[in-house]
Amino acid sequence: MRILQVPPGYPPMLGGVENSVFELTRHLRSFGNEVQVVTCDPERVGFNGEVWRLRPYINLHGDWGEIYFSPSIFRALKRLQYDVVHAHTPRKLPAESVAIFKLLNRRNLPFVVSIRLVNVSLPSLLRGISDTYRKTIERMMFRLADKIAVQTLANRILLIEQCHVDPDKIVVIPNGVDTETFDPGTGPLLAKHSEVEGKHVVVSAGRLTSQKGFEYLIKALPSIKAELSDVVIVFAGSGPLEESLVRLAKDLGVHNSVVFVGNVSHDEMPAFLASGDVFVLPSLSESFPNIMLEAMAMQRAVVATKVGVIPEMLEDGYTASLVNPGNPHELSKSILALLSDDGLRRKIGYNARDLVEKEYSWDVVASKTVKVYEEILEKKN
């Protein structure tokens, strides 16, 4: 099968969607499919036979993220040979561009769109045109797509109830994780780091923004250290709140127990996660957190907030410890329970790895995706 992936970005660009499409592409190829990628990339432009990186001519940036658009995508869609197109949201307009191309050029084009429904803070300009977008471009995209893939049952219900999408068009396909790369046997990255050696280590990762809720994890640390004085929290990632988080740790008198290591590459992430006794995701909102799946694949006990898909995915006390968002007391209580009980920590880590292998490995996710493509092509033919 000849498959064209159209994501908002592609590695080496960083991001959850970018990594997900990379892994999906890699596994689809391992099944014997021919897969090409078209994406926007302001830093790397060109075509290497597998990935066509287009120069964006509309490029909007803000704390909320970015929007790219390149009219060259229509030329790429005309030039390349493929049996099915799979476009991915959010932002950067790849799925919308494919829908417009289908409307104007190839009405019979087999078209799958993956929708990631996330809570974002938009600038007033975009907020002002949001309703117009939903009533025009988005509605057209949903109408022209042969199948719409969402990551969760909750997102499926949201599309049906709020966007009035035909339920028969919607399929639930979760994100995946590479269970070979994220192997519990990986050695720890921070093993000889002087600030963590011989201590109880809590790790967390993500862009340092308010949405990730890292301030509440730092606020939980004084009460954690009152019970276990040797606990240290290590953050991977960068972002606009780094200075304020450092200042918060100093104000609370725990700055010697908070470490920021900056961005950790995807290749180094398994070893970073292996450095922790517990992984914490204190987010105030999430769509489908890849980093949580990766921590679970590493057989780490996870403390996560009850936001987005997380309560749908995980069972409290069995595959994770779940807490309410924005609650340092609950974070402290859950982290202490896991750090103080080796048996509980190992049990939750083992159950998490087992769940990932059965439901979220890329082999499982890619197989589900291929079945969707085959169903569309069978109907077209």
In this structure, are residues 94 and 87 in contact, taking their beta carbons and an 8 Å threshold? yes
Residues 216 and 231 in one domain: yes
CA–CA separation, 320 vs 358, rounded Å? 16
Flag whether 220 is in a domain: yes
- Which pair of tokens denotes residue 135? 């009533």
> Does residue 353 sit in the same domain as residue 367?
no
Pair (367, 353) in one structural domain = no
Q: Return d(Cα 94, Cα 58) in angstroms, integer.
A: 13
205 and 141 assigned to the same domain: no
| Whole-Å CA distances, 106 to 41, 85, 266, 316 | 26, 12, 37, 48
Over its C-alpha atoms, the chain yields an Rg (Å, rounded) of 21
Looking at the structure, tell me whether residues 127 and 218 fall in a common domain. no
Around Cβ 286, how many Cβ atoms within 10 Å? Answer: 23
Q: Quote the number of domains for the chain.
A: 2
Neighbour order of strands in the sheet with 258-260: 258-260, 231-236, 200-205, 278-281, 301-305, 321-323
Residues 157 and 12 in one domain: yes
The answer to whether residue 122 sits within a structural domain is yes
Is the same domain home to 158 and 272?
A: no
369 and 284 within one domain: no
Select from 221, 167, 216 the least CA-distant residue to 339: 221
List the CATH number of the domain containing 303: 3.40.50.2000
In 3-state terms, what secondary structure has residue 310?
A: helix
State both tokens at 184: 């519990």
Give the span between the Cα atoms of 271 and 135, in whole angstroms: 46
Per-residue pLDDT of the chain (381 residues; tens, 9 = 90+): 999 999 988 888 777 788 889 999 999 999 999 999 998 887 888 888 899 998 876 665 554 455 667 778 888 889 999 999 999 986 667 788 888 888 888 778 999 999 875 443 344 444 445 566 666 778 888 999 999 999 888 889 988 988 889 999 999 999 899 999 999 998 888 765 667 888 999 999 998 999 999 999 999 999 999 999 999 999 999 999 999 999 999 999 999 999 999 999 888 999 999 999 999 999 998 878 889 999 999 999 999 999 988 998 999 999 999 999 999 999 999 999 999 999 999 999 999 999 999 999 999 999 999 999 999 999 987
Distance between CA atoms of residues 214 and 205, nearest Å: 9
Given this model, what pLDDT does residue 289 score? Answer: 87
272 lies in some domain: yes
* Structure tokens given for 19: 């990594």
Number of C-alpha atoms within 13 angstroms, CB side, residue 79? 11
User: Which long-range contacts link 344-347 to residues 24+ away (Cβ below 8 Å)?
Assistant: 344/301, 345/277, 345/278, 345/301, 346/301
Judgement on whether residues 355 and 365 belong to the same structural domain of the protein: no
HSE of 322, CA atoms in CB hemisphere, 13 A: 14
Asked if 25 and 171 sit in the same domain, the reply is yes
Q: What domain range includes position 342? A: 200-359
Q: Which residues pair with 54 in a beta bridge?
A: 40
Residue 73 lies in a domain: yes
Is residue 131 in some structural domain? yes
Dist CA 141 CA 136 (whole Å): 9
Domain-embedded: residue 40: yes
Same domain, 302 and 347: yes
Q: Within a domain: residue 275?
A: yes
In 3D space, the residue among 12, 60, 50, 47 whose CA is nearest the CA of residue 28 turns out to be 50
pTM of the model: 0.80
Cβ neighbours around 247 below 10 Å, total: 12
In-domain check, residue 185? no
Do 234 and 154 lie in one domain? The reply is no
E strand or H helix at 114, and its extent?
strand 111-115
